[in-house]
Chains A and B, each alone.
Chain A
Amino acid sequence: MLTAQEFIDLELKATQIRQSVIKMLLAAGSGHSAGPLGMADIFTALYFHILKIDPNNPQKPDRDRLVLSNGHICPVLYATLAHRGFFPVDELSTLRKLGTRLQGHPHRESLPGLETTSGPLGSGLSQASGMALAARMDQASWHTYCLMSDGEHDEGNTWEAVMLAGKYKLHNLTAIMDRNNIQIDGFTEEIMPLENIRAKYEAFGWTVIEINGHNMQEIIDGVERAKVIFEKPTMIIAHTIPGKGVDFMENKFEWHGKPPNAKEAKIALHKLRTLAGKIRSEHE
């Protein structure tokens, strides 16, 4: 169990990361809003509590690997890496600008802390599976995580990887799906229905855990449970609210692929500061 202080610290960190995401998107003038905000709690839990990583030695051989498959939510990855100390927080304002290390979609060689290049959907789980296979061959103890969107389950490549990880019983692989039910053209169940997604994963030989993707304790418990399942890979279906923390963006697929304007950003930042204040006062 997290202590009360750890819980508060993580929640506040997630709020800071959300504020950074809004500022970055405003400065960039393009990019995705809903996904990054929806995944801020999971990124915070992973990078500030779960992953064995060292910002001072990003290539440490025995580090845990995190593959971001749906590269378009990279603002939240960049913001998290910066807050974790991989590079200066000030650099976040260069997102998508000429000469930046913060490319519109992540490029591994540009920025410390990235494990792969991504953007085109459906290829991350395969790469994470390859990493998990390599760790097994080397009898290494590091763990591989793959963050995926629900929409990218439309891609055939995703299911090829689901089959392979099931075949090789990759228990050193944990996937986390951002089940926010939206994609660019609308709601996932209208565009290309994914349900029953839990039964599908189970049928392919995976353990499935479902969590509330905004509850720090559930996120951490889910990942810890996944790590002690030694027979199968685990899929954590994280139910999230796209745009979480900024009420006018929440659950709106229209916010999937666009940034806030100056006025909207101002309101969003105000709401996030109020949220941080609320977290602090609840604690006190």
Chain B
Amino acid sequence: MINQQAHLNPKLFDQDIEKVPTRDGFGEGLVLAGESSPNVVALCADLTESTRMQSFRDKFPERFIEVGVAEQNLVTVASGLAAAGKIPFCASYATFSPGRNWEQIRTTICYNDQPVKIIGSHAGISVGPDGATHQALEDIALMRALPNMVVIVPMDSIEAKKATMAIAATKQPSYLRLSRDKTPVISTEQTPFQIGKAEVLAEGKDIAIIACGQMVYQALQAAEQMKEHNISVRVINCHTLKPLDEKTILEATDECGAIVTVEEHQVTGGLGGAVAELVCQKFPVPMKIVGIANRFGESGESEELLEKFGLTTKEIIHAITTVLRMKPT
């Protein structure tokens, strides 16, 4: 049952639901952040249009820095800007940033505690035809392991906009993961968003699905379909992977007694890892992690790849039935 307090898109289960890439929401949010603070600056590594930084560049050219195809420089120049009072957003594809410049992020941003915002676009298998080299499936693990880093994976373009404005207002190093492909607009402007606060989008008591990014939509679809089988599924949008909302997750483990996590990332080190680390130490319950099973992606259309790599409503339902069988009666 959809949580009315979440104010989701009334057309959530319609065939013609509007689809917008999360990177578009970031682009809008960055302009708004730039309007609200003169200290917000943007840096890009030769991907200004596809990371949606062009609106900010056109509106605030004096606050935009093009570093060329140089991701190590991207984040270290940003660290210097932050040290001098700026709030830098640096954008590239997630395989390159934070893929290629991890040590620079670790030393000059996280250990140095500078408020640099790393924007990793084109994350996940849904990048599509560009193939495995451009499909970041390990970026959450890379960022989640770093002390001081905030990690956010928005479920849709509206949430990406809110998240962008929210991280601009904090002093913490932050990673925002975005996708290339158009994905369903699940939320509305009224949907609550707070860093570190997971949202229950659908109420349920038999099992909880904890998802992030575009997989939240598949999770809601799965919950809807499980109604027919009289199984009540709670759906949690865990947009902030770090710091993890322990309270909401532990409430779910306590009240539902079984968990499935879903993410467009390797099954190691991502959302499933974060939830498992928490749950196994504080409230162990049967659990299954749905994600990319320790392999690289390939070329293909987004839909085809999600199907091939098991990121579908069908796979989530399969995981639900498996976990329910593990649940003590």
- A residues lining the B interface (CB < 8 Å): 65, 67, 107-109, 115-120, 122-123, 126-135, 137-138, 156-157, 160-161, 163-164, 168
Contacts and interface: CB of A to CB of B under 8 A. Distances in A.
B108 A116 contact: yes
The residue among A107, A130, A160 with the most chain B CB atoms within 10 A of its own CB is A130
B177 interface: no
A130 B72 contact: no
Nearest to A135: B84
Interface of B: 41, 62-63, 65, 67-68, 70, 72-73, 76-86, 88, 103-104, 107-108, 111-113
Contacts of A132: 80
Contacts of A134: 41, 80-81, 83-86
B77 A133 contact: yes
Contact of B113 (A109, A133, A160): A109
Contacts of B78: 130
Given A127-B77, A129-B80, A164-B77, 19 more contacts: A65-B84, A109-B113, A117-B108, A117-B112, A118-B108, A123-B104, A127-B80, A127-B83, A130-B81, A130-B88, A133-B65, A134-B80, A134-B85, A134-B86, A138-B85, A160-B68, A161-B73, A163-B73, A164-B68
A125 to B, nearest CB: 8
Nearest to A146: B80
Contacts of A127: 76-77, 79-80, 83, 108
B104 A157 contact: yes
9 A-B pairs with the lowest CB-CB distances in the bound complex, closest first: A130-B80, A126-B76, A134-B84, A160-B73, A127-B80, A160-B70, A130-B81, A130-B77, A157-B72
A87 B190 CA distance: 52
Contact of A160 (B67, B79, B83, B103): B67
A123 B81 contact: no
A120 B84 contact: no
A117 B81 contact: no
Contact of A116 (B62, B81, B83): B83
B81 A131 contact: yes
Contacts of A126: 72-73, 76-77, 79-80
B77 A119 contact: no
5 contacts: A118-B108, A126-B73, A134-B80, A137-B62, A156-B72
A132 B79 CA distance: 12
A67 B85 CA distance: 16
A41 B103 CA distance: 31
Nearest to B104: A123
A184 B109 CA distance: 27
Nearest to B107: A120
